[in-house]
Amino acid sequence: MTNLNGIKVKNRLFVSSGALAYGSKQKLFIDPTIFGAITTRTLTLEQRQGNFGVSPVKPDGISEQILWGIQIIKKRPTVLRKIPGGWINAFGWWNIGVENYINDVYPKTEEVSKIVSIGGFSIEEYLEMIRRLNDLAIIAIEIDVSCPSVKIDWEKDVLLFGKLMKQCRETSRHPLIVKLSIKGDYLTRAHIAEDIGINAVHAINTIRGLLLNPKTGRPLLKAKYGGVSGERIKVIALRVVSEMRQEIDIPIFGGGGIYNWKDCQQFFWAGADAVSFGSVHFFQPWKPTWIVRLHQKEAEKLVQKIKKIRK
């Protein structure tokens, strides 16, 4: 077991929010039980149709993947698009809601080390979700304040951000992670989170982008702007992790464009304590599971080596 400032994990290789739905057991190529942690899709207090315009199905293993796949393909032009070197998505917190998660999914994911991601439209919504999650056997809660396709900006106002972090800290019995975007002064937000006692920072979320129909000039995504992920954001994510490492001492969970073991190594050198696989699951779903099988011990050794060099 590795203890990352109170977050106890079996290895340093995680799955990012949105990549594997809620972490239910999947049989073919993906083994959710092997990862140090799987982060759930961001949950809200009530279930949300997001930008899909359809209710999320109640997830159940493989059938969930097929159903979700059909929904994604059906609506793909407006919520998820492949772009060179990555993806742009505007799911808009499409999710089953915290209560459905607790009743229908959580009991089926006993063997999975889970980080539950939450998103809210008021401080009270975040706190209510934290209260409901307090008694579950999860390894941490990730506070998502950085979804680019939801029209609420928790990060814009530093005082509001601090207030949210403080109240979440006071309410949660679980370790807390905050997932930050690269908008504005993200280093100040990282400092605030550290000072308030947030256990770790996850950097980065997707980067806001715009895709236009070249003939009409109309946005191709329903929500106009979307979040860009994948290989093309990796160098930016590495820069941000490196900057944060110089500023804060709490663990940094690095992600953004990690496709292979070499990418993981780069994030560890930049200063990440753990790395997180996201959109790689959309085109090589087996890859992260393989990487964990082959490299989890190496990851631990590499981090220890880097820490010695830095002392």
- Catalytic residue numbers read 147
Could you give the C-alpha distances from 255 to 67, 83, 126, 201, 303, in angstroms and in order? Answer: 27, 19, 23, 11, 16
Please give the residue whose beta carbon sits closest to ligand FMN in the complex: 18
* Residue from 47, 199, 205, 289 in contact with ligand FMN (CB under 6 A): 205
Closer to ligand FMN by Cβ: residue 184 or 214: 184
**Shortest Cβ distance from residue 180 to ligand FMN (Å)?**
10
Contacts of 63 (CB under 8 A, 6+ apart): none
Does the footprint of ligand FMN cover residue 288 (CB under 6 A)?
Answer: no
Residue 44: helix, strand or coil by DSSP? coil
Q: In the range 31-70, which residues lie near ligand FMN by CB under 6 A?
A: 41-42
Does the footprint of ligand FMN cover residue 233 (CB under 6 A)?
Answer: yes
Residue 282: helix, strand or coil by DSSP? helix
* Residue from 80, 164, 248, 299 in contact with ligand FMN (CB under 6 A): 80
Q: In the range 235-274, which residues lie near ligand FMN by CB under 6 A?
A: 255-258
The whole-angstrom separation of Cα 292 and Cα 146 is 27
- What's the alpha-carbon Rg for the chain, to the nearest Å? 18
Tally Cβ neighbours within 10 Å of residue 124. Answer: 11
Contacts of 121 (CB under 8 A, 6+ apart): 44, 152
Q: In the range 128-187, which residues lie near ligand FMN by CB under 6 A?
A: 144, 147, 179
* Residue from 51, 206, 266, 289 in contact with ligand FMN (CB under 6 A): 206
Residues that bind ligand FMN (CB under 6 A): 16-18, 41-42, 80, 87, 89, 91, 117, 144, 147, 179, 205-206, 229-230, 233, 255-258, 278-279
